[in-house]
Amino acid sequence: MRPMAQIAMVMNLDKCIGCHACSVTCKQAWTDRRGMEHVWFNNVETRPGQGYPRRYEDQEMWRGGWRLNRRGALKLKAGGRLHKLAGIFSEPKLPEIEDYCEPWTYDDRTLAGGPAHGEPDPMVERVRRQASEKVRLAYEQTFMFYLPRICEHCLNPSCVASCPSGAMHKRAEDGIVLVDQDRCRGRQMCVTGCPYKKVYFNHATGKAEKCTLCSPRIEAGLPTVCSETCVGRLRYLGVVLYDADKVTAAASVRDEKDLYEAQLGVFLDPDDRAVQRACREAGIPRDWTEAARRSPVHALISRYRVALPLHPEYRTMPMVWYIPPLSPVVDALTESGHDGEDAENLFGAIDTLRIPLEYLAEMFTAGDTGPVRAALDRLAAMRSHMRALNLGEEPDTAVAAAVGMEPDEIEAMYRLLAIATNEDRYVIPTAAAGDARRLEESALPGGCSLDYAGGPGMGGDGPFGRDSGRRNLPLVSLENFHLLRRRQTSDDAKEA
């Protein structure tokens, strides 16, 4: 066992209203400068739809992620070292600027789910091959939901493996994938290698850039900008422990439909004493293992099993997971004259959701509808159980038993999904004292992936603390690290 810690995220799609507050604030904080006009580290897609950039999910076109060769070994879809060497002076397979354009438009005439945007959706094409009656895209049968996306900060990142200069790297302390701007040579192979197309090329600087998971904020124990400004309170941040020795084997399973369970098998139980002992021996700080025990991400992924990975078939082991949407089923049942929150009605109606299970399965479980159905069943059971409690009735214990849960587990899941405070939704340990100076205060070349001319770390005083990431200025003392955190989180101007 080789335990490592990873900061991960879960998003509850039932709560996303598509307001783009996360996109706009992320843009304001990280990419509001020359050469980054087309770049959105966070964007919200309307599904079904083509995505951003257009049709990024079509890996037959873009060649992102991993594949298995005949011997069962992982190989980059874009080609290995010899292939890259042969084309070192040619541009790799890349989306054009027309494929980016704008991540959304406020055009009421082009509804999501309609033929204009639904037909080119790669997921619609796959579902139609399997179940043509499920996705008709007729107006009266249209469906839609919102999908916020950021970099997945994968356990097995193909962008890192694609980078010929070693500029793209996965940070050992917290698993965040970053780009060293001093080492980047602008080959753009990382853009091709990322199947989610969340690595962007800055044409003004000639460097690759990507979501940093707001690493300066994470180091201070603060949530990401997109999380803190989310209107729907749909994002959860926390520590996940995993066995690094199992990652390659899990990403190499033959059947794509087994990848979800394989990735679950990589995660470690933070309450297991053997895991805790292994973490101590591996040098993982105690506050990180304690944070893993309280992690909402671990709870939603491994304990309640309602969160699912985005496109596990890319074999990158993504670490931003999603709770699939259930909301439309209640309104649909109520409109048909049935009790919209009765357990029997809910369980029976899941198979006839306007959002087909097959479509959700193509996004989250490589086409396997079983885990999607199981997650939706648990969400339906939670609604029925809590409705009974709120009406002063005795909840039917058979509802919880039907989804393999105890009543107290359902109530705990409800508290986390519906009424959790920020302290419960964001369980982020601060950088260890030994890492604080190196992570937050380094002003040496290459010390900060954002520390370059025109970069977001060069703008003076800002939300990440005075002098953070700036050159030719005094270093911030270690004592001020915690002082700045209080300033950033205080509601009292005097205290700040």
Based on the domain organization, do 19 and 125 belong to the same domain? yes
Based on the domain organization, do 190 and 311 belong to the same domain? no
Total number of domains constituting the chain:
3
Based on the domain organization, do 470 and 417 belong to the same domain? no
Task: Give the separation between CA 488 and CA 496, rounded to whole angstroms.
Answer: 7
Q: How far from 226 is each of 22, 233, 346, CA to CA, in Å?
A: 4, 10, 32
Based on the domain organization, do 141 and 113 belong to the same domain? yes
In this structure, is residue 229 part of a structural domain? no
Write the single-letter amino acid at 344.
E
State pLDDT tens for residues 94-135: 898 888 877 765 544 544 545 555 556 776 666 655 555 555
Q: Which domain holds residue 102?
A: 10-219
- Residue 489: HSE in the Cβ half-sphere, 13 Å Cα cutoff: 16
For the chain, how big is the Rg over CA atoms in Å? Answer: 23
Based on the domain organization, do 92 and 131 belong to the same domain? yes
Closest CA to 213 of 229, 226, 195: 226
Per-residue exposure over 125-141, b if at least 16 CB sit within 10 Å of its own CB, e if not:
ebbbeeeeebbebeeee
Based on the domain organization, do 441 and 476 belong to the same domain? yes
Based on the domain organization, do 297 and 330 belong to the same domain? yes
Q: What is the pLDDT of residue 480?
A: 43
State pLDDT tens for residues 168-183: 999 999 999 999 999 9
Strands 320-323 and 3-12, sheet pairing: parallel
In this structure, is residue 495 part of a structural domain? no
Q: What is the pLDDT of residue 172?
A: 92
- pLDDT mean across residues, the chain: 82
CB–CB of 197/54 below 8 Å? no
CB–CB of 339/345 below 8 Å? yes
Q: Which of 266-270, 338-342, 364-368, 429-433 has the lowest mean pLDDT?
A: 338-342
In this structure, is residue 408 part of a structural domain? yes
- Residue 420: HSE in the Cβ half-sphere, 13 Å Cα cutoff: 26
Based on the domain organization, do 158 and 195 belong to the same domain? yes
